[in-house]
Chain A
Amino acid sequence: MSTNDPDDFSARERDILRIVVGHIIPASAAYGLPGADDGAILADILRSAWREGRKLHEAAAEIDAASGGTFATIPTGEQATVLQRFREQHPGLARACEVVTARCYYRDGRVMRSIGMEVRPPFPLGFAVEPSELDLLEPVRQRGKIYRDAN
């Protein structure tokens, strides 16, 4: 799996992207969860975003331009307004931001535990699935054949 060099993003871009991902998934006191702008999660986002790198550069540039180059310093409410407009005007770029944010946020151990997952990959332990209730098929059997003979 390839990785990105976080230094591919300028300090200004990293600042903007930190704010963007924090707006997508903010911290939650109610659930005791970090936001996607948490240091470890943000580092994961920047490191693994090599496929979306071009779109993230573009997104940062669009967002910054929309706020006259002041996005990182304007109040949170104004940032939210800029981002709402960004989502409407650049849905493809907004989607790229959502994807890189969600995929790193929801593999963070703190988050996985909070949503009821064990902090591990699927293999090798696998998972349990409730068994079948084959009695439910009795009405289907009783209605009989539904295919057409054609030979």
Chain B
Amino acid sequence: MVEVNEAVDVVIVGAGASAAAFAWSLAETGMRILCVEQGDWVKADSFPSVGRDWEERAATDFAISPNVRRRPEDYPVNDADSPIAVANFNGVGGGTMLYAAHFPRLHPSDFRVKTLDGVADDWPVDYATLEPFFALNDEKMGVSSLAGDPAYPPKPQVMPPIPMGRSGVTIGRAMNKLGWHWWPSDAAITTQTYAGRAPCINLGQCGSGCAQGAKASTDVTYWPEAMRERVEVRTHCRVSRVETDENNRATGVYYYDGDNIERFQPAEIVVMASNGVGTPRLLLNSASERFPNGLANSSGLVGKNLMLHPYAQVRGYFDEPMDGYRGPHICTWSMQFYETDPSRDFVRGYSYQFSRGHGPVTAAVNGMADGLIPWGEGHHEAFRSVFDHSAGMVSICEDLPEEINSVTLDPDLRDSNGIPAPKLTYRLSENTRRMLDHSVARGREILTAAGARHITSRSPLPYAGWHLMGTARMGTDPRRSVVNEWGRSHDVKNLFVIDGSVFVTSGGVNPTSTIQALALYFADQVKSRIYDLFD
């Protein structure tokens, strides 16, 4: 027996980066807005950094892989057919709970890849259109940065950047020797008291949750403001499918509540914000007689064109002490190899994010894996030469859309409510492999110039599938896209997708800033079209 709830105007599925920005923006309309989230709020005093077992907990109950973390609210992901595993978090704040808060925007050229470079497709929006929403989002999230970065059009500085530290200065000097671009990162981390949030105290644990509240996860930024405007966030609600009527309109969502009771939540507008894997999973699980191939899937592109941003990691070990585990892990970036250069053997490009070191457990475990720290007698001396003496980088490579890379429904695997789980099929293209190789070679040059005595690399990083994009792409042609240029489904006129699924291409930077700017833009479009929204 399904319980039927009181109807709302808008139901948003998921409470992560995009949902929070969208709900906050839409709240001023006075519509009744409900966000349903399968996880819970995470209390700041439960984050790993409050205990001496912080490194263990960052790798277990706060692990970035749902398959490792295995919390009751996590759904399994079959990623056996992918060299890169999915990373996510299911709870209020979504992926922002565990992200590094490295906060670059896509570049102007990222929205015009077909026009400029003859590959993939142009986006139906451009940087100039999104620019005011990027700026608004920087304010709402509380972004620290240094104005004047020559890799971007001018953008306002909300507050001073996070400290470079020894790692940033050492690598910065090397970049100057090589004549290559570098700059302090835009970081969604407060460096001063801001909007009720305390400044960063360099816990170094952005990646497992910020107990200080300095990192801009949406549970401490947008959601409290949206809830003051009477948006409701309902936790422990695991959505199974979207329902439709004979007019091909969405009528609401089915979900299981915390007591495992199945409920139907009627709504005038349904908004999918469950990330680039969760959203296609739910649309495919919403197949019906009217939509036999999955909801909003007349193009056949729901779940296709998955982009993950393959990472390569290059780390150097130095005689001098570096920052170690202190401070936000990422301190500076480089866009030197971001734009297409015809002299290279690949199109498009990548960014570097330069990073500090690790805590002692990670230093020991990685050191043993890399053959730098032996078992036995030599362990202690080798450990001391590695711990607090490393710095390095990851490259974030642009992943071009290919239909073979996809999210489908696993025929066997299910979550604890019996809902079919997603299955990834993903391979690295030749273009991506060349880009990864280029980034490792240049990374080694950088660390050599910085004076590293030993350099290690891993490519691609197998666990770093953070950026889930492209699986419900936006566009003006219903045959080649799932949603239109303002996030509304071509097939179901009151269904929206607002997360990274809508990305047409991936760019070569972390997507959260752009995901949120798009969500704010989509909300603005809904508000300005409110009287003919479904035409």
Contact = CB atoms under 8 A, between A and B. Distances in A.
Given A122-B204, A133-B169, A150-B127, A127 B176 contact: no
A139 B184 CA distance: 14
A97 B151 CA distance: 45
Given A121-B54, A122-B49, A141 B365 contact: no
B335 A146 contact: yes
Interface string B14-28: 000000000000000
Interface string B197-217: 000111111000001100000
B368 A144 contact: no
A115 B365 contact: no
Nearest to B180: A140
A10 interface: no
Contacts of A127: 201-204, 325-327
A103 B365 CA distance: 8
Interface stretch (B109-117, B423-431, B433-441, B464-472): B109-117
A151 B375 contact: no
A140 B183 contact: yes
Given A31-B380, A122-B204, A139-B176, A148 B164 contact: no
A115 B205 CA distance: 20
B128 interface: yes
Contacts of A146: 150-151, 181, 335-336, 338-339
Nearest to A139: B176
A71 B124 CA distance: 67
Given A123-B203, A133-B172, A147 B151 contact: yes
A25 B383 CA distance: 10
Interface stretch (B56-64, B81-89, B218-226, B513-521): B56-64
Contacts of A99: 59, 365
Q: Give the interface centre of A33, A83, A122 by most chain B CB atoms within 10 Å.
A: A122
A151 B126 contact: yes
B365 A132 contact: no
Contacts of B153: 147
Contacts of B55: 103, 106-107
A50 to B, nearest CB: 9
Contact of A148 (B108, B211, B364): B108
A109 B148 CA distance: 45
Interface in A117-151: 117, 119-134, 136-137, 139-141, 143-151
Given A106-B360, A141-B150, A116 B388 contact: yes
Interface of A is mostly: loop
B376 A23 contact: yes
Interface string A18-55: 00000111101011010000000000000010010000
Interface string B226-250: 0000000000000000000000000
Nearest to B51: A121
Contacts of A66: none
B179 A26 contact: no
A30 B380 CA distance: 9
A1 interface: yes
A150 B161 contact: no
B182 A140 contact: yes
A1 to B, nearest CB: 6
B379 interface: yes
A140 B177 CA distance: 11
A136 B165 CA distance: 13
A65 interface: no
A145 B380 CA distance: 47
Given A80-B376, A102-B364, A151-B127, A121 B49 contact: yes
A112 to B, nearest CB: 8
A144 B181 CA distance: 10
B168 A132 contact: yes
Closest CB pairs A-B (n = 7):
A126-B201, A127-B326, A106-B360, A129-B327, A102-B364, A150-B108, A132-B164
Interface of B: 47, 49-57, 59-61, 107-109, 111-112, 115-116, 126-128, 146, 148, 150-153, 161, 163-166, 168-169, 172-173, 175-176, 179, 181-184, 200-205, 211-212, 323, 325-327, 335-336, 338-339, 359-361, 364-365, 368-369, 375-377, 379-380, 383-384, 387-388
6 contacts: A24-B379, A26-B377, A103-B361, A132-B163, A139-B176, A147-B108
Given A148-B107, A148-B108, 15 more contacts: A1-B61, A24-B375, A106-B359, A115-B387, A116-B388, A120-B52, A130-B164, A130-B169, A131-B164, A133-B169, A137-B182, A146-B181, A148-B339, A150-B116, A151-B126
